[in-house]
Structure 1
Amino acid sequence: MQNLESIREKAIEETKMKIEEDISHFLASHKECPAFQDYLSERSGFFQQIWLNTWLNKVTNNILRSHKKSFLRSKGYEVEGVDKKILNKMFRNEVRNERPFHVREWVQENAPDEQEWETRHRKERERYLKEMEERLTASKRKGVQKEILYFLEQKVEDQELNWYLELRYIFSKKIVSDLNSKPKYKQIDPFALEDKLEEQGMLSNHDFTTVSDILKEFTGSIHKKSEQWERNLWEYETYQFPYERFISSCTENVISSYVCENLPADILVSYKEIYGRELSQEQVIKWAQPVILKEKTLFFNWIREEYVVDLMELAAVPFDIEEHLSLYRTALEKRLQLKEEEEALLKEKQEEDARILHDIFGQEYSPSQRKGIEYVLHIGETNTGKTHKALTRMKAAESGIYLAPLRLLALEVFDKLNSEGVPCRLKTGEEEKEVGGARHMACTVEMFHEKNDYEVVVIDEAQMLADQDRGFSWYKAITKARAKEVHIIGSENVRTLLLGLVGEEQVQIHNYEREIPLQVEKKEFKLKHAKQGDAIVCFSRKKVLDTASRLQNNGHKVSMIYGSMPPETRKKQMMQFITGKTKVIVATDAIGMGLNLPIRRIVFLENDKFDGTRRRLLTSQEVKQIAGRAGRKGIYEAGKIAFTKDIKKMTHLLTQDDPSLKTFAIAPTSNVFERFQRYYHDLDTFFELWDRYDSPYGTEKASLTEERELYGLVRGTDIEARLSLNDLYGFLHLPFSKKENKLTQQWLDSMHAIVNDEELPEPDISNKNLEHKEISYKAVGLHLLLLYRLGRQTEAYYWERTRQEIADGVHESLRTEVKGLSKKCRNCGKKLPPNFGFPICDRCHALKRKRRERKKG
């Protein structure tokens, strides 16, 4: 067996050592020297047990498990699958009698002669008595230490204030000295070694109210150094650190001095007898650390709250405990009175702040149910005719306005009404189209103006109330509309929220259900399964183009829809699908909002989406909104739904009941800004107050993230100085893609031109490829937003034509470029397979991994 002989030799040596220790203990325990035979008679019964314990521990811990199994097999055991503990037990039972060491024989062979035995007894006995004496002394020392600590602990409650008064007096002299002799420093850059602190005269007691104020000042020394990014960095020392050390040292001296001077005489005598010296303050400090540490912390916190003026006066008064106690109590009373006054002022300020917040925001966001308006709710699933019925009523009215969530839907209604002989105007942020004699209007919901009267108002996609950034536009339209009838269209989950806003007394509710059933396919969808009438849904422009390219290369005629696509282009793409020129449409979730297409089957190519913060699973409402576009009435008997994976989970989302929306979004209004300007005149303060305002129950404030980011570009510039608050916020609130750096720069350049009364810079237009055309379309759109806001409609008409030409170019690029799109390796540019799931090819990935391994090696 492995190393068995070596292990046995070590066990023998350890056993011999333990026997020698046993002999020493035996001899030390006897006053008179016992005979060697007495030892054998008394202890030999334990000899073999000592060997056995030593041997078994050694051999069990130092033999490999495989060797133990081999040994047991040789003894006839079956050991496969045997638990480790049981295996060790079996091994110990078998190995215990392997070549035993005969301890008694070894002891007898090495028996000392009588003189050696007696000499060893004398030495062991002397050692034993010395140890016993040392233990007794240690016990006495421990006892006197406990008595001293007990004395101190008993005195803490009575003496704590007296100790503090003495320390307070010492510290007062320290602070007077510092305020009369130390320079004041200004921090330039505390993290740059090459920069120094700049002196600004001397410290003055007039600059500080409490000691806490002084603690923030720099002493001029360096507190600590470190290295980061190959630079030496330092942190300057403030008075926090030296004053903390000073209080710590003073506390130790005051308390240890008190103990040495007031400890009972019998304890002092005991200490001197045991230690052979007088009790010192250093010894007290060493023993009393737990008590002293607690007092250090307490005293430093008390010192921090002291008024500097009180300490300046105190330093001139010689220390007398009674007099200083009286001065301290007077200071406490004065401090308490000042604190009460400060709290009263703070409370008054808080009440004033609350009043201002309520005055600015409070009344604006409390829903007010208006009399004389008939509200008609159209509630139901997607593709059930809700919008059609509401628009039919609006067309029959003398005047009406349709409020759309998307510019494309406003355009669709504008075209529809005019084609049916109902003159209708169009107004979005980027375009205005006048039609002679029109008393109807189609516009995006943000363009709603609450002072205009209509017979019928139609508000589409009311579930957008809950959108944190856009929801307030729906809230404003629903609660501020001036009309005989307000028709509100929404999904089932917005019903309760709408009834809470408009009241239940003057409401008609029309419920809608699908006449065309939805059927989920049991088989997982693959792109090769695409057929005529399919709408394939994914959640990014890149994915749409990539999927369309793969389908076109497989012989399919494809239309595309995604959020950043020009509405004019989107309309053409839709018409190609409607008229049958294309057989398949690939779209983002934009397809789920108001786009009525002859879709046979909705295919979810993805089950999750990036929502601007994280990638998450689609919500039940999102699945229903998109899936509801399948199965156009009069064309298909059922709408088909397909998923690429997790069919059971996605089907549950499609069929489950949605929880009711509980909150609607609020955002700043012109009334809010008018009231705000009674008190303040800068947007920094406005954003701060907006964050502090606790919106009413059931509301959620818009984040205003994009407005804040744009404001950061113009804060403190001529743009801010020359524009009114309302105008500036209006420009910050313009609906353009602020994540596009090129558009943000265009906005900034235009703002400079506006305040300097110069011509607006023309948008940068490029027809190089699809991506360039799309960004050019957005640039012209931003230019139009600015022109319409400035009231320059005539100039805007030219740019609308330009934008239409760009939209035509986008449509043409989709026809010609997408088929040639292919996924390429980000590193080497090699063409990747259609279903390849990574941004770099296998070869580049392998090279990258090898480089990493070499670097680690």
Structure 2
Amino acid sequence: MSHLEMLYPAAIEHTKEKVWEDLYRYLGDKEICPSFDQYLQDRTMYLEQIWINVWLNLVSNKVPRSEKKEFLSSKGYEVEGVDRKLINHSFRQEIRDYQTFDVLEWVQERLANRSQEWEELYQNARKQFLEAQERERLAEKRTSILQRLEVVLDEILTDEYELFYIHIRHLVAKKLVEIFAEEPRYEKLDPFALETPLKKTGDFHAKDYTTLTSFYEELTGGLEKTRHKGRILYYYEDYGSIFESCILENVKATVPQLIQELVVEEMGHGFENLLGTELDIDFIEEFLEDELYEIAFDFVELFQEEYVEDLLKLAEVPFDVEVHQDMLNADLARREQRKEAELAEVQRKKEEEARRIEYIFGQEYQPGNLRDIRYILHVGETNTGKTHHALEQLKKSESGLYLAPLRLLALEVYDKLNADGVPCTLKTGEEEKVVPDAKHFSCTVEMFHEKDYFDVVVIDEAQMIADRDRGFSWYKAITKANAREVHIVGSRNLKSMIVELLGDAHIEVKEYTRDIPLQVERKLFTLQQTKKGDALVCFSRRRVLETASRLQNDGFSVSMIYGSMPPETRKKEMQRFIDGETKVIVATDAIGMGLNLPIRRIVFLETEKFDGVRRRRLSSQEVKQIAGRAGRKGIYDVGKVAFTNDIKIMKQLLQQEDVPVHTFAIAPTNAVFERFQKYYRDLGTFFELWKKFESPKGTKKAALAQERELYELIRGTEIEARLSMMDLYGFLHLPFSTKDDGLVYQWRETMFAIVRGEELPEPVIKKRNLDEQELSYKAIGLHLLFLYRLEKRIEATYWERVREELSDAVHKSLKTEVKKMTKKCRRCGRVLSWEHPFQICDPCHFSRYEF
């Protein structure tokens, strides 16, 4: 049976019901019974229309689309590919005449020539109509009474608000006295630390508290439960929840009783019959349920400002409205005096703190006495020979210091100087390679020490003075270098900042330009266009390995460079490319930092990067820094640059004039800590003051995010108790990644071993695959940071050998494992085709938008 056949009887029954309802409304409204003929005359138009309305609405909503199309097709309509709205419109037009039901005929059959039944219908309809009218009249009158009652109650709630508070205040005061007299005091601890049993510490004393809020933190000894993310959690109850409940219960019990007496005085008793109920306390409580909760919550806030001492005195005085009103006024007056005194004390402490902050930090970040030093500023684009010229002066000097941003660059200069016959010692936080009688040192910039004198100091990649977390190391090296000659090497936009920073010092500026032009390719790059001498740049280790794997499987020999790669391995990978053993190099933006390679073309596989906070487009300086690595004089006399997208925008960034560096980073110094310790003894306070300290104009504070994160791990432990603040901060400042939970755990366990005088825990070493080898390399690096800081050089020598072996294993794994790699979804691990444009699969992508 079709839907039309099933719906037709239902439509008829629904139509009859509509006619019957209309008939009752028609008859009920008439004071005199009209004739049946008069009814037909008045309602024929309605009766003729009601069937078609009921029928069309029913079939339009209930008949499936497929059946509609089938019906229209039988009528000769074209239905395939036709819009749904057009199908519905055509169906409504055609179905109008489907087995019509004659409503007039049915009414006449049912009621014509039946005068007695017609009269009975009229009487019933009229009775229902009049009863409904009476109900409406009474409802309107009751509504009017309730509206009047609501107005009266609103006035009472407003006018007598203070009266209610006086009553509740007395009851809460008595509750407080009861607690002080009968309940023990427990030691304070984390309310969720249920594994720690509560210990009684004596009785409550008014002198230990100021406002009632300070008492709320005390524990009652009882347990409460709450639900969080579907789990039931238990915690120790405090008096804050006790007093909230006490205030709410007293408001619900007392206020309705006070209101009842006032309402009766205002309105009398006459309205109770109209309401159909007695105006008792239960009725008022129900009627004012929301208002009572609001009053209670208002009172909860007001009681937070009440003083414990005032409430305890109040409870001793028998309740009398006038007496308690006077006491409240007197307490409020004293409270205002206390507030003024407290505000004055807060302001005094604030001003004192501001003076201390200025003393501790304020004067520290001005250039020191620059002495009689000759400064040479080497500025220019990438790959213009800036560093080379500075190093030539370093090699000629009697003693020298090279400061690099990376271990790899420090290692490169160490090798270069020793190869050129200039004895040089390497010092980074993780390693030392001491050359006997060497007067030259190659170091990372953080190893700079202002008390050491050198004939020549070279500070490389000085534009990093603007880096929020590391920039202060460059600031300190530039302004506090103790030398005859200081060479500062950086990008062109560094010039105005350095000139301003060094003030009246003697500065010689040398500007460099590229001998080799850069040429941007017009067509978008695809991986199939890879050629010998290309450097493909992306911005994650994962993307480097995936790209290298794909190229290797396509027959290319590939070198790889990324930030977390061991420097020794990175050096070998570079050498393979330099020697022609590999034809292509795939790298992150680490390639842009001082690495000189015979690169024919730089290819940007991505034009966006994640900077630790968000994914953003590359800046002009970043594009130039990386693109500038293209070209090598005598090998590739034109450096080529290609992009996989956004060629026009990237070309504009490449040609855009550098925005000058206007700010440099500042960080805590030893002198800052020395001044700080005249007032305070804990690092928690130090971090708070550092946050409040307003960075001087032209500077920005180091975030100290790692230091604060690590400090929270050992705050309040024996580590903080046993170490001096300077030593502790030095360990917090060790350069390692706190994003790796394993390294953070190793750091914490090593710290406990140090303060307990135990052997340092050895780093966990795993070699099953590339990931484990690189993590193990980092673990050894952290261990070496501790060993060198603790002057354990013999042990450090052993672990340097272990690390070197591990870097060989990493290099070997790069040759063997990478080729076997597949591209996988970073969320679910599903294998993706190399052509898939994204790092996640389609199902994982679309699941983000499912609700």
Contact 2:568 2:807 in 1 (8 A): no
Q: Corresponding residue for 2:387?
A: 387
Equivalent runs, 1:108-147 vs 2, <5 Å: 108-111=108-111, 113-147=114-148
Q: Cα–Cα, structure 1 residues 369 and 118, in superposed 2: closer, same or farther, change >3 Å?
A: farther
- Measured against aligned partners, the alpha-carbon deviations of 1:722-780 in whole angstroms (never above 9, x if no partner) come to 55433443344344567778877887787678767888888899999988887787677
Shift of 1:155: 3.7
Q: Assess, with a 3 A threshold, how the Cα gap between structure 1 residues 522 and 819 changes in structure 2: closer, same or farther.
A: farther
Deviations 1:58-100 (A, max 9, x none): 2332333444445445556566666555554444444334433
1:283: Cα distance to partner?
Answer: 2.6
Cα separation, 1, equivalents of 2:357 and 2:180: 43
Q: Could you tell me how far apart the structure 1 residues matched to 2:118 and 2:778 are?
A: 107
Contact persistence 1:665–1:699 (CA under 8 A): yes
Listed as ranges, the matches of 1:401-800 within 5 Å are 401-417=401-417, 426-429=426-429, 430-431=431-432, 433-434=434-435, 436=437, 438=439, 440-454=440-454, 456-483=456-483, 485-503=485-503, 507-522=507-522, 530-537=530-537, 561-563=561-563, 567=567, 570-571=570-571, 574-575=574-575, 577-580=577-580, 583-604=583-604, 618-643=618-643, 650-708=650-708, 723-735=723-735, 789=789, 795=794, 799=797
User: Equivalents in 2 of 1:769, 1:265: separation in Å?
Assistant: 88
More deviation, 200-209/457-466: 200-209
What secondary structure, in the 3-state scheme, does the structure 2 residue paired with 1:365 have? coil
Change (3 A) 1:199 1:101: farther
Q: Assess if the C-alpha contact under 8 Å between 2:156 and 2:259 holds in 1.
A: no
Greater shift, 754-763 or 601-610, is seen at 754-763
Structure-1 residue corresponding to 2:155: 154
Instruction: Summarize the Cα distance change of 1:162–1:69 in structure 2 as closer, same or farther, 3 Å threshold.
Output: same
Paired residues for 1:251-290 under 5 Å: 251-263=251-263, 267-275=267-275, 278-290=278-290
Give the distance between the partners of 2:119 and 2:206, measured in 1 at CA: 82
- Indicate if the aligned counterparts of 1:465 and 1:664 stay in contact, CA closer than 8 A: yes
Q: Kindly provide the CA deviation profile for residues 340-369 of structure 1, in whole angstroms up to 9, marking residues without a partner as x.
A: 222222222222222222222222224468
The farther-off stretch of 136-145 and 694-703 is 694-703
Question: Distance between the aligned counterparts of 1:834 and 1:167, measured in 2?
Answer: 73
Q: Report what 1:177 is aligned to.
A: 178
Alignment RMSD (CA, Å): 4.6
Q: Which runs of 5+ in 2 are unaligned?
A: 845-851
Q: Which amino acid aligns with 2:333?
A: E
Return closer, same or farther for 1:23/1:548 CA change in 2, 3 Å cut-off. closer
Q: Which amino acid aligns with 1:143?
A: S
- 1:180 & 1:746 partners in 2: Cα distance? 51
Structure 1 position 639, deviation (Å): 1.3
Q: 1:818 aligns with which of 815, 818, 834?
A: 815
Query: What corresponds to 2:847 in structure 1?
Result: none
Kindly indicate whether the alpha-carbon contact (under 8 Å) linking 2:569 and 2:808 is maintained by their aligned counterparts in 1. yes
Counterpart residue identity of residue 47, structure 1: L
**More deviation in 260-269 or 23-32?**
260-269
Quick one: structure 1 residues 264 and 694, their matched pair in 2 at CA, closer, same or farther if it must change by over 3 Å? Answer: same
1:237 and 1:554, CA in 2 relative to 1: closer, same or farther beyond 3 A? closer
C-alpha distance in structure 2 between counterparts of 1:217 and 1:787, whole Å = 46
The equivalent residue for 2:53 is 53
Cα deviation, 1:450-501, whole Å, max 9, x if unaligned, reads 2344454321101221333322110101122234543321113434443442
Partners of 1:761 and 1:5 lie apart in 2 by: 85
Contact 2:381 2:492 in 1 (8 A): yes
Q: Give the Å deviation of 1:234.
A: 3.1
TM-score (norm 2): 0.83
The one-letter code matched in structure 2 to 1:818 is K
> Residue 96 of structure 1 corresponds to which residue in structure 2?
96
- Shift of the 195–8 alpha-carbon distance from structure 1 to 2, 3 Å rule, reads farther
Partners of 2:546 and 2:823 within 8 A in 1 = no
Instruction: Count how many residue pairs are aligned between Structure 1 and Structure 2.
Output: 837
* Matched letter for residue 143 of structure 2: K
Q: 1:330 Cα shift?
A: 0.4
Aligned with 1:637: secondary structure?
coil
Tell me the equivalent position of 1:19.
19
Deviation of 1:538 (Å) = 5.0
**Structure 1 Cα separation of the partners of residues 417 and 66 of structure 2:** 89
Partner of 2:311: 311
Q: Secondary structure of the residue that 2:58 maps to in structure 1?
A: helix
**Residue type matched to 1:401 in 2?**
L
Which amino acid is 2:432 matched to? E
**Following TM superposition, by how much is the alpha carbon of 1:310 offset from its aligned partner in structure 2, in angstroms?**
1.7
Task: Name the CA shift for 1:715/1:32 in 2 (closer, same or farther; >3 Å).
Answer: closer
Q: 2:10: which partner in 1?
A: 10
Choose 458-467 or 443-452, whichever is displaced more: 443-452
Note the C-alpha offset of 1:144: 1.6
Aligned-partner residue type, residue 391 of structure 1: L
Cα distance change of structure 1 residues 68 and 738 upon mapping to structure 2, 3 Å threshold: closer
Alpha-carbon distance between aligned partners in 1 of 2:598 and 2:385, rounded to the nearest angstrom: 14
What are the Cα deviations for residues 677-736 of structure 1, in whole angstroms up to 9, with x where unaligned? 212333344344334433334433334444456656766677655554334433443445
| Aligned match of 2:849 | none
8 Å CA contact 1:548, 1:818 repeated in 2:
no
Question: Using a 3 Å threshold, how does the CA distance of structure 1 residues 189 and 322 change in structure 2: closer, same or farther?
Answer: closer
Matched-pair contact (CA < 8 Å) for 2:578–2:597: yes
CA distance 1:318–1:432, shift in 2 (3 Å): same
Amino acid of the structure 2 residue aligned with 1:823: K
Q: Which residue of 2 aligns with 1:851?
A: none
Matched, 1:37 2:37: yes
- CA contact 1:780–1:799 (8 Å) conserved in 2: no
CA spacing shift, 1:578–1:327, aligned 2, 3 Å? same
Contact 1:164 1:299 in 2 (8 A): yes
Percentage of identical aligned residues: 51
Uncovered stretches (5+) of structure 1, i.e. residues with no partner: 849-857
Q: Are 2:428 and 2:447, in contact at CA under 8 Å, matched by a contact in 1? A: yes
Q: Report if the CA contact (8 A) 1:380-1:491 is conserved.
A: yes
